[in-house]
């Protein structure tokens, strides 16, 4: 995990998720970032999150890892060398207040342990990814299921946009957006992250 450099995130990249939170559907990639202090691996551990700042929501996402310096025109399959399933934990009450005031989302998105990732596996290529779903199981019940086919902005668009506006290089990761079905977590919730039907990460949440 120490090799991770920048953490970029795509907001509102699935239409039904944007609608479930009553947000406008974007016409270009809607990006934000998280500090590296937010990053933690789901490896059967207990992850501590703030329990005194209002509702904490899970947002399950496919996460890609950049394997070499970006060059204009480079294809996703050449650039990306790893894939994980992640959870973008969000302080929803704080985020709603930030949105009302027109403030950045950092307080709601950037707290420690808010960027959870499973182990990284070898990136199988874009076309193969389209045939595989990512899933969050919460306390034994399926909470979210997504497929990159349903993204508003595909992986190539996200990568090119990120490189143009922020820079993109080896060790950067991108949370590519969450599908519908986000919801609140409770203390003691057990989360399993699945890719192609296989568990690739697990954790238990402790709200402190």
Bridge partners, residue 57, by sequence: 90, 184
Structure tokens at 162: 């990120």
Q: How far is CA 37 from the centre of its chain?
A: 15
User: Which pLDDT band holds residue 23 (cuts at 50, 70, 90)?
Assistant: low
pLDDT single digits (tens) 150-177: 999 999 999 999 999 999 999 999 999 9
pLDDT single digits (tens) 188-202: 999 999 999 999 999
- Sign for the pseudo-dihedral over CA of 170, 3, 113, 130: positive
Residue labelled with tokens 């947000």: 23
Judge whether residue 25 has pLDDT over 80. Answer: no
What is this structure's pTM? 0.95
């Amino acid at each position: 995990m120490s090799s991770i450099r920048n953490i970029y995130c795509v907001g509102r990249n699935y239409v039904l998720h944007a609608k479930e939170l009553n947000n406008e559907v974007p016409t270009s990639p809607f990006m934000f970032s998280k500090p590296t202090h937010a990053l933690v691996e789901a490896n059967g551990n207990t992850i501590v999150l703030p329990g005194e700042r209002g509702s904490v929501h899970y947002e399950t996402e496919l996460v890609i890892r950049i394997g070499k310096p970006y060059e204009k025109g480079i294809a996703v399959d050449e650039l990306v060398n790893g894939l994980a399933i992640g959870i973008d934990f969000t302080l929803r009450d704080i985020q709603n207040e930030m949105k009302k005031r027109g403030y950045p989302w950092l307080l709601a998105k950037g707290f420690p342990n808010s960027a959870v990732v499973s182990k990284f596996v070898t990136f199988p290529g874009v076309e193969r990814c389209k045939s595989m779903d990512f899933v969050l199981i919460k306390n034994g019940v399926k909470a979210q299921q997504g497929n990159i086919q349903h993204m508003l902005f595909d992986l190539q668009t996200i990568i090119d946009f990120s490189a143009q506006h922020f820079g993109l290089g080896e060790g950067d990761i991108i949370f590519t957006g969450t599908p519908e079905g986000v919801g609140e977590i409770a203390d003691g919730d057990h989360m399993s992250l699945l890719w192609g039907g296989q568990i690739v990460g697990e954790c238990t949440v402790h709200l402190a």
